[in-house]
Structure 1
Amino acid sequence: MNGALALSLIIFFAVTIPVAVSIALASIFGIVFFSNLPLLVVPQKMFTGLDSFPLMAVPFFILAGNLMTKGGVSHRLVDFAKSLVGGTQGGLASTCVVACMVFAAISGSSVATTFAIGSILIPAMVKHGYPVNMAASIQASSSELGVIIPPSVPLILFAVSTQTSITQLFIAGIGPGLLIVCVLILMVQIWCRVKGYGKQDGDDKKSIISAFFRAFWALMMPVIILGGIYGGVFTPTEAAAVAVMYALFLGLIVYKEMKLSDLPELFKSAAMSSGAVMLIISAASLFSFLISLSGMPNVVGAWAHSTFEHAWSFLLAINILLFFVGMFIETAAAILVLAPILTPVAIAFGIDPVHFGIVIVVNLALGMFTPPLGVNLFAAAQVATIPVQNMFKSLVIPVFTMITALMIITYVPQVSLFLSDLMN
């Protein structure tokens, strides 16, 4: 059944059937033709896959991101980021990276980060003389922080699919996220100086104090959410609900940039996005059940141990595999299908599952801005109103920069684990 499941899934993907439907159809195909299971197992396993308290965090974080984008949070975060790093040549590009980092610590979504920050900074960078394709590429690559800096929806999905601690994964995401921020800032600073862009970026720089007080309530969001999780005040799922309430408080009462009449459309948008993710999760749960039943994890484990002698070579192979998977397959689907298969093999090689989860998510985040199907790529192109293919050439530098950061995160586990080690 292993080969039939994999082949049918590839065929369904190739003919551009939606991801969730492809996974479900491949599972049903395997049940009907290669097993003695009744079809009743389909709704049972799809329901069981969603019957998880931690998964409730996903729609809450998606809704919180929508509320904050509408509620005026992004403008204030951009101003604060610009007050910190916007006073030098290339300051606007650096502001993009820092603003994405802060917004990522609130939204948990890279696409939401692209639209919220990109709608402000891409036009600003173009106005200051940056080529529009370069501005869009910087935004697309910086927005991947939305799924690395906690809270992160992909980290939640990895935790649920592999029975790993969400709190430990959130803690582990901080170090890699900060490393990527530093690497991206270094990249844009060198890029701007070599090309001569951004010489006037510091002209309208605001004072740090005034920008801080203007963004104070927005900056309290990650403090409340992450502080509450790590301090044991509430679970990640409860934190997601708190994020929604706090976003409503900011948008309706503090900043007053959101009206009650805006809420139905925001709820509808969040419901549509959540429904798409949940459908993928339920289909992937059925697929994972069949994969486990067929013994594929054991087969993959035996093959890996006979092929790779050391953990470093296994990790290299996984990074190459995930790099290409991320270019073509939606992140949630890739995690839910591959993580239950690969994680036991990684553990057998002595790799910490929390570290391995970070490696998977960072690698798939790279796929979010690589052609041909990177979601951040299309979002940034939409904001910049340019064809996606116009960005391809300017993506070379960010892609190689991120590959460098990925290699450091992969082979220096303490980048991910030092904070959790300190807290244990």
Structure 2
Amino acid sequence: MSIFLMMMAVFLVFVFLGIPVSFSIGLSTVAAVLAKGMPLAFVSQMAFTGLDSYTYLAIPMFILAGYLMETGGLSKRLVNFAASLVGNIHGGLGIITVLACAFFAAISGSSPGTVAAVGAMMIPPMVEKGYDRDFSAALTASAGSLGVLIPPSIPMVLYCIAGEVSIGEMFMAGFIPGFLMTAALALTTYVISKKNGYKSDEGEFEWKKVAASFKEAIWPLLAPVIILGGIYSGIFTPTEAAVVVVVYSMFVGLFITKELKVSDLPGILYKGAVTAGTTVFILAFAMAFSRYLTLNQIPQLIGSVILGITGNVHVILILFVLLCFVTGTFLETASQVLIYTPLFLPTLKGLGVSPLHFGILLTVGTMLGMMTPPVGINLFVAQGISGAKISKMTKAILPFLFVMLFVQILFVFFPGFSTFLPGLFSK
């Protein structure tokens, strides 16, 4: 346990010194390996073998698909469809933003990508219609976090790889929690908008408008159907599904919407490679970190400590939720998933907690981390679009943050939200 505490101390010192998380994880592993007298080659070997998996191909493919859909005009059609569903109610533009983020989340798998795509289209109109700039940016940063909860989700893929959980079942587990979180954010937006007098001028709800916008949005809305339908029908694996959605996005952008140009592809490939490369770099060192913990039976020690405090599963899960909430302020998504999965999943499985249930709690924990400084990437993406100040955005985001934390605690006590659909479709 002393070696583990040293690892965490080294890791936290490097993080607070501003060293990139990937290097912080790698250097803490190197320190532990040297302290244990193990050969240094262990780190490079574990990093390489940890990445030597066919499943990892899904990560760059989902990232690339998100960029293709954004450039191909699919996100714009999703926003228009969301607008048709909202009538003349308080906070109409804000609720449209929440729904648009939910729709885009179902095709992108990326939270910052969702904020960028929807925020660029929704923040300027909200500010123009009298919405507070800080509120508009905070709302978009909050709703954009749905990108990791509503499948397909890159953090879910990482969790499934680290915890050896079925990606298809994990994706299915995200639907009900994703719907509930979307509803909670929309309701919060309505309450705040009514209090501040943010009215909508979208006009009355009309089925004719819904039908027309649905016709335009049918192509992007088909993407999650193709992904999950293909996986559950056995036509292709989750990794192959990621490749299929890339081809589908490119086809729709080039030949259906015709907003994606061949000349755009090099830039899209470059952005996708940079984003994926950063994620995979963290992944390599995190896998070495994880393998070291496993070989030295650190998860079993953590389990003994937890059970020494309490044997109540609900209390343990609430403590885990609070841990994610705190560490999410300085750990980014991939790091949280890849560090906490090997540490906590074995113990919780032994206590009868479904890996799908734990996966949803961990995923929501990463959502909250994306909204809190100093590592809250969604805040910085929304700030770049809106021009708002981070300090004021942080204050404006608090109502959404606490509502999402409350919903996450509800998930602790009602695991059926996560396990019902996978159980239904596995029969």
Q: Partners of 1:232 and 1:225 in 2: how far apart?
A: 11
Q: Partners of 1:78 and 1:317 in 2: how far apart?
A: 37
Letter in 1 for 2:231: I
Equivalence for 2:343: 341
Provide runs of 4+ in structure 1 moved above 3 Å. Answer: 201-206
Q: Partners of 2:387 and 2:204 in 1: how far apart?
A: 26
Equivalence for 2:258: 256
Equivalent residue pairs, number = 423
Deviation of residue 387 (structure 1)?
2.0
Aligned pairs for 1:6-45 (under 5 A) are 6-32=8-34, 34-45=35-46
Aligned counterpart for 2:290 among listed residues 288, 291, 297: 288
Identity %: 40
Equivalence for 2:146: 145
Q: CA offsets per residue over residues 43-86 of structure 1, 9 Å max, x none?
A: 21111111111111000000000111111011100000110124
Q: Partners of 1:97 and 1:86 in 2: how far apart?
A: 14
Equivalence for 2:329: 327
Q: Partners of 2:88 and 2:62 in 1: how far apart?
A: 33
Deviation of residue 371 (structure 1)?
2.5
Aligned pairs for 1:117-132 (under 5 A) are 117-132=118-133
Q: Partners of 1:71 and 1:323 in 2: how far apart?
A: 35
Equivalence for 1:415: 417
Cα contact 1:89–1:202 (8 A) shared by 2:
no
TM-score, normalising length from structure 2? 0.96
Equivalence for 1:208: 210
Deviation of residue 11 (structure 1)?
1.1
Segments of structure 1 that go 5 or more residues without pairing to the other structure are none
Cα contact 1:109–1:147 (8 A) shared by 2:
yes
> What RMSD, in angstroms, separates the aligned Cα atoms of the two structures?
1.4
Letter in 2 for 1:3: L
Deviation of residue 168 (structure 1)?
1.1
Cα contact 1:65–1:106 (8 A) shared by 2:
yes
Cα contact 2:93–2:200 (8 A) shared by 1:
no
Deviation of residue 198 (structure 1)?
2.3
Residue 382 (structure 2) pairs with residue 354 (structure 1): no
Change in Cα spacing, 1:203 to 1:84, as seen in structure 2 (3 Å) is closer
Cα contact 2:168–2:228 (8 A) shared by 1:
no
Equivalence for 1:387: 389
Cα contact 1:2–1:294 (8 A) shared by 2:
no
Residue 114 (structure 2) pairs with residue 113 (structure 1): yes
Q: Name the SS for the 1:257 alignment partner.
A: coil
Aligned counterpart for 1:223 among listed residues 204, 215, 225: 225
Equivalence for 2:408: 406
Deviation of residue 204 (structure 1)?
10
Aligned counterpart for 1:269 among listed residues 268, 271, 275: 271
Q: Partners of 2:391 and 2:16 in 1: how far apart?
A: 21
Deviation of residue 259 (structure 1)?
1.0
Q: Partners of 1:174 and 1:204 in 2: how far apart?
A: 26
Cα contact 2:88–2:200 (8 A) shared by 1:
no
Cα contact 2:85–2:205 (8 A) shared by 1:
no
